[in-house]
C-alpha cells in the first residue's frame, strides 16, 4: 500500500506542476480572460505622461491612445498597461481591452522597445535620454536572457509531462525514469523561474527613477502571475521526486 500511496502522490504533484506550467505558457497569447490574467511581467505606464508634464512643464499631447484595437509598434500611442508573456506581449487601454503583438516562439522581454515603438518620435527621444544607462532600456540583456529562460521552462514542461506519463504506467523500472525526469524538470524550471525573477527585479529599478528633481518617471514594473506559477510548479516537482524514488523500492504491482 505504501507504494500505491507514493505513486498517487507523485502523480498528483506532477499533474499539478504540468497544469501550472501550461498556464504559464498561455499567458498573453490573446486578451481573453485566462491569458489576460497571466503574464511574466507587467508594466504600468499610466503615470508617464504626467511625469513628463511635471518635468518639462509643456503640454503632453498624443502620447496615449484610447483606441484598444490599434496595432502595436506603429507609433499610434501608448496604452496604459503592458503585459509580457512567453510568446507575445499585450497592451491594454482599460481592463482587458487591448491588443497583442505577433506570436513568436521564445518571445524576447524588451519592455523599453515595446513602449517606445508606440510613441511619437519626440517622446521616444525624450525617453532615450531619461532611461539611458538603465537595465530597463538594455533590451539586448533582457531580451537575450528571457529568450534563454523560455527554453528552460519549455524543457521543464516537457520533462514534467513525461515524468507524469511514465509514472502512471506503474512499472517498477519506469519509476526510475519518472524520478530522473522529475529531477531534470525541477532543475530546468528552477533555472527558468530564477532568470525571469532576476530580470523583472532588475527592471523594477525604473519604479524609483527620477526624471527631474523630485519627479518620478510614473512607470511601474512588477512581477506577473506567471513567475509565481513557475515557482509553484518548481515546488510541486521538487516534492514529487521523493515519492517517485520511494516507489522504485516499494511498489510491487
Residue 1 confidence class, pLDDT cut points 50, 70, 90: very low
Name 194's Cβ contacts closer than 8 Å, sequence gap at least 6: none
- Rounded Cα distance, 120 and 234, in Å: 42
Averaged pLDDT, 141-151? 97
**pTM (2 decimals)?**
0.92
User: Per CATH, is 3-250 categorized as 1.20.140.150?
Assistant: yes
Averaged pLDDT, 44-65? 93
> For 188-213, what is each residue's pLDDT tens digit?
999 999 999 999 999 999 999 999 88
Q: Is 228 left (phi over 0), alpha (psi -120 to 50) or beta?
A: alpha
> How far is it between the farthest Cα atoms of the chain?
78
β-bridge partners, 94:
97
How many CB atoms sit inside 10 A of residue 66's CB? 11
Q: State the average pLDDT for the chain.
A: 91
Task: Flag whether pLDDT at 173 surpasses 80.
Answer: no
Q: Which range is least confidently modeled, 92-96, 106-110, 217-221, 243-247?
A: 243-247
Give me the residue spans of the domains in the chain. Answer: 3-250
Measured in whole angstroms, the distance separating CA 152 from the mean position of its chain's CA atoms is 13
Averaged pLDDT, 138-157? 97
Name 246's Cβ contacts closer than 8 Å, sequence gap at least 6: 2, 3, 6
Q: Are strands 210-212 and 215-216 parallel, antiparallel or unpaired?
A: antiparallel
Amino acid at each position: 500500500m505504501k507504494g500505491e500511496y507514493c505513486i498517487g502522490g507523485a502523480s498528483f504533484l506532477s499533474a499539478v506542476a504540468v497544469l501550472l506550467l501550461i498556464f504559464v505558457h498561455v499567458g498573453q497569447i490573446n486578451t481573453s480572460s485566462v491569458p489576460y490574467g497571466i503574464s511574466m511581467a507587467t508594466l504600468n505606464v499610466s503615470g508617464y505622461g504626467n511625469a513628463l508634464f511635471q518635468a518639462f512643464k509643456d503640454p503632453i499631447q498624443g502620447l496615449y491612445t484610447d483606441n484598444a484595437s490599434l496595432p502595436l509598434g506603429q507609433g499610434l500611442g501608448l496604452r496604459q498597461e503592458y503585459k509580457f508573456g512567453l510568446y507575445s506581449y499585450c497592451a491594454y487601454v482599460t481592463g482587458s481591452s487591448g491588443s497583442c503583438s505577433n506570436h513568436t516562439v521564445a518571445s524576447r522581454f524588451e519592455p523599453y522597445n515595446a513602449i517606445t515603438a508606440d510613441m511619437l518620435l519626440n517622446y521616444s527621444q525624450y525617453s532615450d535620454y531619461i532611461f539611458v544607462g538603465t537595465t530597463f532600456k538594455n533590451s539586448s540583456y533582457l531580451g537575450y536572457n528571457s529568450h534563454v529562460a523560455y527554453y528552460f521552462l519549455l524543457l521543464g514542461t516537457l520533462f514534467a509531462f513525461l515524468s507524469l506519463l511514465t509514472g502512471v504506467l506503474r512499472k517498477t523500472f519506469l519509476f526510475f525514469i519518472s524520478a530522473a525526469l522529475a529531477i531534470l524538470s525541477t532543475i530546468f524550471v528552477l533555472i527558468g523561474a530564477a532568470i525571469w525573477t532576476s530580470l523583472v527585479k532588475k527592471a523594477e529599478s525604473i519604479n524609483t527613477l527620477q526624471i527631474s528633481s523630485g519627479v518620478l518617471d510614473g512607470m511601474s514594473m512588477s512581477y506577473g502571475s506567471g513567475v509565481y506559477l513557475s515557482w509553484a510548479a518548481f515546488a510541486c516537482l521538487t516534492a514529487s521526486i521523493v515519492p517517485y524514488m520511494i516507489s522504485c523500492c516499494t511498489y510491487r504491482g
